């Protein structure tokens, strides 16, 4: 697919915050359940969400390397490059936030008061 081959400039921008918002709400909602689940679902969900964020980041990274692809119109190369650069940073930052959440899910069993 050309979109995967040449990247999507805004992918990290969308995937990072979205995956983080979903995983934060999901992890918070199932925090009580973890105690009885027999495994660490919050850590698993955080890891999956971080992977989703990183996938978007990767697409933005590709768009950064093919900044002139599919531009003019609708988007000039400089705007696409800027958007892709911002998306890479945001996607990576939110992936890091979810890895920190995952660490919390591994440290706490969920049975603590």
Partner 1 sequence: MSGIRQKKAERIQEGGPKGIRDTSIDEARLRAFLAHAWQTPKGLYGWLATVDHKLIGRRYVVTAFLFFIFAGLSALAMRFQLAAPEAGRIGPDLYNQLFTMHGTTMMFLFAVPVMEAFAVYLVPLMIGTRNVAFPRLNAFSYWIYVSGGMMIWIAFAFNTGADAGWFSYVPLAGPDYGIGKRPDFWAQMVTYTEVSALAVAVEIIATVFKQRAPGMTLDRIPLYVWSVLVTAFVILFAMPAVMVSSTMLILDRLVATKFFDSAAGGDVLLWQHLFWFFGHPEVYIIFIPATGFVSAILPTFVRRPVFGYLGIVLSLIAIGFLSFGLWVHHMFATGLPQLGESFFTASSMMIAIPSGIQIFCWIATIWGGKPIFATPLLFVLGFIFTFVIGGLTGVMVASVPLDLQVHDTYFVVAHFHYVLVGGAVFPLLGAVYYWFPKVTGRLLSERLGHWNFWFIFVGFNLTFFPMHILGLQGMPRRVYTYPLESGWGSVNLFISLSSLVLFAGFALFFLNMLLSLRNGHLAGDNPWGASTLEWAATSPPPSYNFPHLPVVTHRDPLWAEPDTLPVIEGLRVDAREVVGGTVADAVPQLRVPSADNSIWPLLSAIAVGGTFFASIYTPWAVVWGAIPVSIGFICWFWPKGEPEDEE
Catalog residues that contact partner 1 under the rule CB under 8 A: 13, 16-17, 20-21, 24, 27-28, 31-32, 34, 42, 74-76, 78-79, 81-83, 85-86, 89-90, 93-94, 96-97, 100-101, 103-105, 107-110, 112-113
Least distance in angstroms from the C-beta of 14 to partner 1: 11
Which has the closest alpha carbon to 7: 87, 89, 107? 87
- 24 or 48: CB nearest partner 1: 24
- 6 or 86: CB nearest partner 1: 86
Least distance in angstroms from the C-beta of 61 to partner 1: 14
């Amino acid at each position: 697919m050309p979109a995967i081959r040449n990247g999507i400039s805004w992918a990290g921008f969308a995937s990072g915050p979205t995956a983080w918002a979903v995983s934060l709400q999901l992890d918070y909602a199932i925090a009580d359940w973890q105690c009885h689940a027999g495994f660490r679902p919050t850590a698993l969900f955080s890891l999956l969400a971080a992977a989703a964020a990183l996938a978007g980041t990767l697409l933005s990274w590709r768009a950064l390397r093919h900044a002139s692809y599919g531009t003019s119109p609708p988007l000039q190369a400089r705007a696409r490059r800027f958007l892709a650069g911002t998306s890479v940073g945001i996607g990576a930052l939110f992936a890091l936030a979810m890895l920190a959440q995952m660490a919390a899910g591994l440290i706490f069993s969920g049975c603590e008061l």
